[in-house]
Protein backbone atom coordinates (compact mmCIF):
# COMPACT_ATOMS: atom_id res chain seq x y z
CA UNK A 1 0.00 0.00 0.00
CA UNK A 2 1.34 3.38 -1.00
CA UNK A 3 0.99 5.68 1.96
CA UNK A 4 -0.05 9.27 1.52
CA UNK A 5 2.84 11.63 1.89
CA UNK A 6 1.96 14.79 3.79
CA UNK A 7 5.43 16.25 3.92
CA UNK A 8 7.88 15.98 1.07
CA UNK A 9 11.28 17.59 1.45
CA UNK A 10 13.84 17.38 -1.32
CA UNK A 11 17.33 18.87 -1.15
CA UNK A 12 16.28 21.57 1.28
CA UNK A 13 19.03 24.11 1.93
CA UNK A 14 18.76 27.08 4.22
CA UNK A 15 21.61 29.52 4.55
CA UNK A 16 22.07 32.49 6.82
CA UNK A 17 24.92 34.35 5.21
CA UNK A 18 27.78 31.92 5.22
CA UNK A 19 26.20 29.68 7.81
CA UNK A 20 24.36 26.65 6.49
CA UNK A 21 21.58 25.82 8.92
CA UNK A 22 19.99 23.11 6.80
CA UNK A 23 22.33 21.27 4.52
CA UNK A 24 20.56 19.37 1.77
CA UNK A 25 17.77 17.73 3.74
CA UNK A 26 15.53 15.15 2.07
CA UNK A 27 12.80 13.20 3.80
CA UNK A 28 9.14 12.31 3.65
CA UNK A 29 6.50 12.03 6.32
CA UNK A 30 3.40 9.88 5.87
CA UNK A 31 -0.15 10.51 6.83
CA UNK A 32 -1.05 9.53 10.39
CA UNK A 33 2.56 8.98 11.31
CA UNK A 34 4.34 10.16 14.44
CA UNK A 35 7.58 11.51 13.12
CA UNK A 36 10.36 12.43 15.55
CA UNK A 37 12.75 15.15 14.51
CA UNK A 38 15.76 14.89 16.80
CA UNK A 39 18.95 16.81 17.23
CA UNK A 40 20.96 18.76 19.73
CA UNK A 41 20.26 22.43 20.26
CA UNK A 42 21.61 24.27 17.28
CA UNK A 43 21.58 21.28 14.97
CA UNK A 44 19.10 23.04 12.68
CA UNK A 45 15.79 21.65 13.89
CA UNK A 46 14.15 24.96 14.55
CA UNK A 47 15.18 26.32 11.17
CA UNK A 48 13.71 23.32 9.40
CA UNK A 49 10.55 23.52 11.49
CA UNK A 50 10.08 27.18 10.53
CA UNK A 51 10.38 26.33 6.87
CA UNK A 52 7.96 23.43 7.16
CA UNK A 53 5.40 25.62 8.88
CA UNK A 54 5.63 28.35 6.23
CA UNK A 55 7.30 30.91 8.46
CA UNK A 56 10.58 31.00 6.62
CA UNK A 57 11.55 30.50 3.00
CA UNK A 58 14.03 27.85 1.97
CA UNK A 59 17.18 29.04 0.18
CA UNK A 60 16.81 26.20 -2.28
CA UNK A 61 15.13 22.84 -2.61
CA UNK A 62 11.57 21.66 -2.66
CA UNK A 63 9.30 21.59 0.36
CA UNK A 64 5.73 20.43 0.11
CA UNK A 65 3.58 20.38 3.21
CA UNK A 66 -0.03 19.21 3.19
CA UNK A 67 0.05 19.47 -0.58
CA UNK A 68 1.26 23.06 -0.70
CA UNK A 69 4.59 24.49 -1.76
CA UNK A 70 6.37 26.18 1.13
CA UNK A 71 7.89 28.72 -1.20
CA UNK A 72 4.78 29.76 -3.08
CA UNK A 73 1.88 28.97 -0.76
CA UNK A 74 3.01 29.49 2.81
CA UNK A 75 -0.40 30.93 3.73
CA UNK A 76 -2.14 27.74 2.61
CA UNK A 77 0.28 25.71 4.67
CA UNK A 78 -0.44 27.76 7.77
CA UNK A 79 -4.16 27.01 7.42
CA UNK A 80 -3.54 23.30 7.29
CA UNK A 81 -1.17 22.82 10.16
CA UNK A 82 -1.35 23.08 13.92
CA UNK A 83 1.49 24.16 16.12
CA UNK A 84 2.28 23.66 19.76
CA UNK A 85 5.29 24.31 21.88
CA UNK A 86 5.41 23.79 25.59
CA UNK A 87 5.77 27.39 26.61
CA UNK A 88 3.98 29.73 24.30
CA UNK A 89 0.96 28.00 22.96
CA UNK A 90 -1.61 29.26 25.43
CA UNK A 91 -2.25 32.69 26.85
CA UNK A 92 -1.63 32.41 30.57
CA UNK A 93 -3.92 35.29 31.42
CA UNK A 94 -6.93 33.91 29.59
CA UNK A 95 -9.15 31.07 30.76
CA UNK A 96 -9.11 27.67 29.10
CA UNK A 97 -12.38 28.42 27.31
CA UNK A 98 -11.19 31.83 26.16
CA UNK A 99 -8.07 30.26 24.72
CA UNK A 100 -10.12 27.74 22.79
CA UNK A 101 -12.41 30.47 21.47
CA UNK A 102 -9.46 32.57 20.46
CA UNK A 103 -7.75 29.83 18.45
CA UNK A 104 -11.00 28.74 16.88
CA UNK A 105 -11.53 32.33 15.79
CA UNK A 106 -8.02 32.64 14.40
CA UNK A 107 -8.59 29.61 12.21
CA UNK A 108 -11.90 30.97 11.01
CA UNK A 109 -14.17 28.39 12.61
CA UNK A 110 -17.82 29.31 13.09
CA UNK A 111 -19.12 30.19 16.53
CA UNK A 112 -21.35 27.16 16.78
CA UNK A 113 -18.58 24.84 15.68
CA UNK A 114 -16.21 26.32 18.23
CA UNK A 115 -18.82 25.92 20.95
CA UNK A 116 -19.47 22.33 19.94
CA UNK A 117 -15.77 21.46 19.87
CA UNK A 118 -15.15 23.26 23.16
CA UNK A 119 -17.76 21.16 24.94
CA UNK A 120 -16.49 18.01 23.30
CA UNK A 121 -12.94 18.82 24.26
CA UNK A 122 -13.64 19.75 27.85
CA UNK A 123 -15.59 16.52 28.31
CA UNK A 124 -12.89 14.42 26.77
CA UNK A 125 -10.17 15.86 28.95
CA UNK A 126 -12.33 15.77 32.07
CA UNK A 127 -11.76 19.44 31.96
CA UNK A 128 -15.19 20.79 32.82
CA UNK A 129 -14.22 22.21 36.18
CA UNK A 130 -11.18 23.90 34.70
CA UNK A 131 -12.90 25.56 31.75
CA UNK A 132 -13.26 28.93 33.42
CA UNK A 133 -9.93 28.94 35.16
CA UNK A 134 -6.96 30.97 34.05
CA UNK A 135 -4.30 28.96 32.29
CA UNK A 136 -1.70 30.22 34.73
CA UNK A 137 -3.57 28.45 37.53
CA UNK A 138 -3.52 25.05 35.81
CA UNK A 139 -0.94 22.37 36.50
CA UNK A 140 1.67 21.89 33.79
CA UNK A 141 0.26 18.57 32.66
CA UNK A 142 -3.20 19.97 32.04
CA UNK A 143 -1.76 22.94 30.18
CA UNK A 144 0.05 20.61 27.83
CA UNK A 145 -3.00 18.54 27.11
CA UNK A 146 -5.06 21.62 26.50
CA UNK A 147 -2.35 23.09 24.28
CA UNK A 148 -2.33 19.99 22.11
CA UNK A 149 -6.12 19.94 21.90
CA UNK A 150 -6.15 23.56 20.87
CA UNK A 151 -3.46 22.96 18.26
CA UNK A 152 -5.62 20.36 16.54
CA UNK A 153 -8.93 22.14 17.13
CA UNK A 154 -9.27 23.04 13.45
CA UNK A 155 -8.49 19.47 12.38
CA UNK A 156 -5.24 20.25 10.58
CA UNK A 157 -3.49 17.68 8.41
CA UNK A 158 -0.30 17.99 10.40
CA UNK A 159 0.49 19.14 13.89
CA UNK A 160 3.98 20.30 14.84
CA UNK A 161 5.00 19.75 18.43
CA UNK A 162 8.12 21.58 19.53
CA UNK A 163 9.73 19.92 22.58
CA UNK A 164 6.34 19.14 24.05
CA UNK A 165 6.94 17.07 27.17
CA UNK A 166 10.03 18.38 28.93
CA UNK A 167 9.95 18.27 32.69
CA UNK A 168 6.60 16.66 33.37
CA UNK A 169 6.01 13.74 35.67
CA UNK A 170 5.91 10.22 34.22
CA UNK A 171 2.16 9.81 34.50
CA UNK A 172 1.36 13.10 32.80
CA UNK A 173 3.88 12.34 30.15
CA UNK A 174 2.27 9.01 29.37
CA UNK A 175 -1.13 10.59 29.24
CA UNK A 176 0.26 13.12 26.85
CA UNK A 177 1.71 10.48 24.60
CA UNK A 178 -1.59 8.67 24.61
CA UNK A 179 -3.13 11.86 23.34
CA UNK A 180 -0.52 12.03 20.63
CA UNK A 181 -1.29 8.42 19.67
CA UNK A 182 -4.95 9.25 19.52
CA UNK A 183 -4.29 12.30 17.37
CA UNK A 184 -2.30 10.18 14.94
CA UNK A 185 -5.02 7.51 15.01
CA UNK A 186 -7.49 10.16 13.87
CA UNK A 187 -5.30 10.66 10.84
CA UNK A 188 -3.48 13.81 11.89
CA UNK A 189 0.22 13.52 11.24
CA UNK A 190 2.31 14.38 14.27
CA UNK A 191 5.71 15.96 13.76
CA UNK A 192 7.65 16.16 17.03
CA UNK A 193 10.93 17.99 17.44
CA UNK A 194 12.84 17.21 20.56
CA UNK A 195 16.28 16.86 22.00
CA UNK A 196 15.04 14.46 24.65
CA UNK A 197 16.08 11.12 23.30
CA UNK A 198 13.69 9.09 25.38
CA UNK A 199 10.79 10.85 23.68
CA UNK A 200 12.09 9.48 20.44
CA UNK A 201 11.27 5.96 21.56
CA UNK A 202 7.59 6.78 21.30
CA UNK A 203 7.75 7.86 17.67
CA UNK A 204 6.98 5.70 14.62
CA UNK A 205 10.01 6.97 12.76
CA UNK A 206 12.76 9.33 13.71
CA UNK A 207 15.35 11.40 11.96
CA UNK A 208 18.49 12.57 13.73
CA UNK A 209 20.01 15.89 12.76
CA UNK A 210 23.55 16.97 13.40
CA UNK A 211 25.29 20.08 12.08
CA UNK A 212 22.47 20.85 9.69
CA UNK A 213 22.38 17.39 8.12
CA UNK A 214 20.13 14.42 8.65
CA UNK A 215 22.50 11.68 9.75
CA UNK A 216 19.98 8.91 10.38
CA UNK A 217 16.35 8.22 9.54
CA UNK A 218 14.40 5.08 10.40
CA UNK A 219 12.19 3.46 13.01
CA UNK A 220 13.65 3.55 16.52
CA UNK A 221 13.84 -0.24 16.60
CA UNK A 222 15.71 -0.43 13.32
CA UNK A 223 18.17 2.29 14.34
CA UNK A 224 18.86 0.55 17.61
CA UNK A 225 19.47 -2.69 15.75
CA UNK A 226 21.73 -1.02 13.19
CA UNK A 227 23.88 0.71 15.75
CA UNK A 228 23.70 -2.13 18.20
CA UNK A 229 22.37 0.16 20.90
CA UNK A 230 19.94 -0.32 23.77
CA UNK A 231 18.29 3.05 23.41
CA UNK A 232 17.88 5.85 20.93
CA UNK A 233 20.05 7.88 23.23
CA UNK A 234 22.90 5.48 22.64
CA UNK A 235 22.33 5.68 18.92
CA UNK A 236 22.45 9.42 19.15
CA UNK A 237 25.67 9.42 21.13
CA UNK A 238 27.24 7.11 18.58
CA UNK A 239 26.44 9.21 15.55
CA UNK A 240 25.86 12.80 16.58
CA UNK A 241 28.76 14.48 18.21
CA UNK A 242 27.82 18.15 18.48
CA UNK A 243 30.24 20.98 17.87
CA UNK A 244 30.88 23.40 20.73
Partner 1 sequence: MQKIIEASDISKRFGETQALKDISFSVNESEIFGFIGPDGAGKTTLFRIITTLLLPDDGEMKVLGMDSKTEFKELRKNIGYMPGRFSLYQDLSVEENLNFYATVFGTTVKENYDLISDIYSHIEPFKKRLAGNLSGGMKQKLALSCALIHKPKLLVLDEPTTGVDAVSRSEFWEMLKKLKQYKITIIVSTPYMDEAMRCDRVALIQNGKILSIDNPEKIKQGYSRKLFSAKAPEKYKLIDALRKYPETITAYPFGDSVHVTFTGDKYDSSIYTYLGKLGINDAVISVTEAGIEDRFLELMNKAE
Interacting residue ranges for partner 1, rule: CB under 8 A: 40-42, 139-140, 166-172, 174, 177-178, 181-182, 184-185, 195-198, 201-202, 220-221, 231, 233, 236-237, 240-244
CB of residue 242 vs partner 1: minimum separation in angstroms?
Answer: 5
- Nearer residue to partner 1 within complex by CB, 158 or 232: 232
CB of 142 to partner 1, least distance (A): 12
Closest to partner 1 by CB, 100 vs 138, is 138
N-terminal to C-terminal alpha carbon distance within the chain: 44
- Closer Cβ to partner 1, 108 or 244, answer by number: 244
CA torsion, points 108, 110, 114, 117, in degrees to nearest 10? -100
Rounded least distance, CB 110 to partner 1, Å = 29
Residue 108 near residue 117, CB atoms below 8 Å: no
User: Are the C-beta atoms of residues 29 and 6 closer than 8 Å to each other?
Assistant: yes
Nearer to partner 1 (CB atom), residue 57 or residue 178: 178
Q: Are strands 189-194 and 158-162 parallel, antiparallel or unpaired?
A: parallel
| Number of residues in the chain | 244
Q: How many CB atoms lie within 10 A of CB 54?
A: 23
Q: Please, which residues have CB within 8 angstroms of residue 176's CB and are 6 or more apart in sequence? A: 141, 144, 145, 148, 164, 165, 168
Distance (Å) of CA 29 to CA 6, 127, 188 = 6, 32, 12
Minimum CB distance to partner 1, residue 39 (Å): 8
Nearer to partner 1, 118 or 210 (CB): 210
Beta carbon nearer to partner 1, 23 or 201 = 201
Q: Which residues touch 108 (CB under 8 Å, ≥6 apart)?
A: none
Shortest Å, Cβ 175 to partner 1: 9
Residue 31 Cβ vs partner 1, minimum distance, rounded to whole Å = 14
- Residue 80 in contact with residue 68, Cβ under 8 Å? yes
Amino acid sequence: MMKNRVIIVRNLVKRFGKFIANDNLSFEVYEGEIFGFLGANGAGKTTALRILSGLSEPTSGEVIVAGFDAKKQPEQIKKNIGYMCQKFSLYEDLTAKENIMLYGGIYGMSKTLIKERTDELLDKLNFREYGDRLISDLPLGLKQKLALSVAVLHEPKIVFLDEPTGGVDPITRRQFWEMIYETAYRGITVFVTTHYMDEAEYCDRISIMSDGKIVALDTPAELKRQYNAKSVEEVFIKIARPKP
